[in-house]
Structure 1
Amino acid sequence: MSLQLYIDKLSNLRAARANGRARPHKICMMLAVADLIENGHISTNKINYDNELKSRFTFYFDQLKQGNDANSPFLPFHHLESEKYWHLAFRSDRDEKNYRLKSASAARVEKYVYHAYLDVQLFEYLRSQNSAIHLRAALSTNIDQLEEQFGRWMKLQGKSDKTIKNYIGAMKSSLSNWANDAHITNKSLISVASYFEYKTITTKLRELNEFKANDKRGKGMYSAALNAYSAFLEDVTQVETQFDIEEILAQPNISNTTKATLVNTRLGQGGFRQELICLWGGCSITNYQNTDFLIASHIKPWKEASNSERLDKYNGLLLLANLDKAFDRGYISFLDTGKIVISEKLAEPEVLGINSKMRVSLQRFHQEYLAFHREQVFRYSA
């Protein structure tokens, strides 16, 4: 089957629906599998229902869940079989018969299913950097109710209700109207789920005189709205991570072993994450200890760090998702004493569970990295 046919299939997942919206489980499972193929955890066409898969599923699910969506990775592991390119291998014929007698559950998947596997051609496409990035983009087009998802995402970034309302309003009305009138697209911008399609549209939109004039009058509000939606799509599709991985693989002067280690680190997996778990024991700020919910976060950003700094455990914090995002975006940082510093640009930090009494226990090896973060990443009010 051609790449385009798989792109079409992944663009049209048959997702379960509730309250008029598509549930995100199948999207999250396929994105998780794509990540694990890329980092080498899945090296052959055998998808085990293991902790790595469940953890990566949770990473995406936490971004896309709504309402009463349950973190149940066994559901898409089972139901993706209806997509025809996802298959289940059972431990025996008898196990398959027993498995299909009742509804799926985590226990039944673990007891009866040996592993899942993909169409051979799809697996090969996902192993290729060139084709995998298009398959990821196809998956993102299944994201339902983008306006609501975008609003929830901005809330997690610490945006105020007023800012959220203004950005969504601009995306739905003025920005979409200008793009439509200039025949750049006939869509509402807030309905675009593909990062690459969105970048193509907005690159042309930013060149319009009408956009430039209104953006100047609005003191950059329209640019800020476009940038926020771009960052939202980047987060969902992890496209920036894909670019970083391509950069790693293209480096001629490092060994394949080092490349594999760096790829795992960029994906938040492997030795770097394990070293942070051993070093911190839980969230570096709250001490919350369920590692399924913790993200390995670089202090000195990936793009600014050398390969050795990217792998240095002292260039890392282990954080809950909301704290990771605030730290990564420069809304919080830490003094040499470990005391938190909160940017005045973070609206309603208490909504994110952030308060001025928070602190981290630092070692001297952290200081240089945190100094860089305060100087280059933290958002000062001036």
Structure 2
Amino acid sequence: MMRKDLQYYAKKFAKLNVNRHRERGPAPHKPVLLISVIELIEQGKIRRNQVPLSPELISTFLKYWRSLVITDHRSDISLPFVHLTGDKFWHLSFYPDSETATSKGLGSKGVTAVRRIVEYASLDPELFKILQDPGQRVILLRVLIDSWFSGESSKIEQLSLIDEFESVKSQLLREGGATYNVDDLKDEENIVVRNGAFRKIVVSLYDQRCAFCGLRIISADGQDIVDGAHIKPFSEFRDDRFVNGLALCKNHHWAFDHGWFGIDEDYRIVIPRDRFTEEAAVGSREMVSFRGEKIRLPRDQKFMPSINGLQWHRKKWRIA
């Protein structure tokens, strides 16, 4: 059995199994994806051997794609994310409710479909360990550059200094968020990135605390138990302005989306009577005990939740 060491993966990276078009040349999707993964490992954004198709990964992929790819290949990160499995060092893990799913045909379904079905990708344990070492990591990066983007090492070095997802967040924050039309939604990659930025910013505006209960838990790798929730659903209104956002923990996000509580014009919690029963765990508060309390609000007044949006939500769910 061949030893899976640095030399083994250097050969793998140099000879990726890519589609080679007679006129356009070799498809650049897989090397761009691997360069992006290496950057996120370098930045400490990937600490475990789990690589989700996250807004951070997509924005990094797009950054390199726009600067390095000069052929007319179409940008679509879902293609290499799925088809890199054919190189035998990249593996997909599906969500439990997608146990019958396979990678066959999945790459053609687009980013949204892949994100819904695939929980994360992982590398061979040997490769992931190699990529933890800065010296070996730079060797594999050099192999990718020399094999697929010869002469572009200086450009790639400059690009690596730019945190693309943070740049998107900064731009959106200056704009107060964004609204989109139907045509905008056809660009799945950019919408996923900007929607992910919306959610991250909304949570930060509320100091990573649930507006309803005040819960604040952040993991060592920056994962947050609080969500950036939409007041009026994005699927219906395509509204990613921050005034259409609330920071809510997983439980209260679900409850808000299902009309178990609303928020009035004074930002006080409205809980309909006889809509649900509950039994709180020992030492915790029942949800109904929050009735009439004021939610936690963003520090910046210009990002206060939209009164119009909250009114729409109460009307939709008949919350009086």
TM-score of the superposed pair, with normalisation by structure 2: 0.49
Q: Which has the higher contact order (CA 8 A, sep 6+)?
A: 2
Between Structure 1 and Structure 2, the one with more helix by share is 1
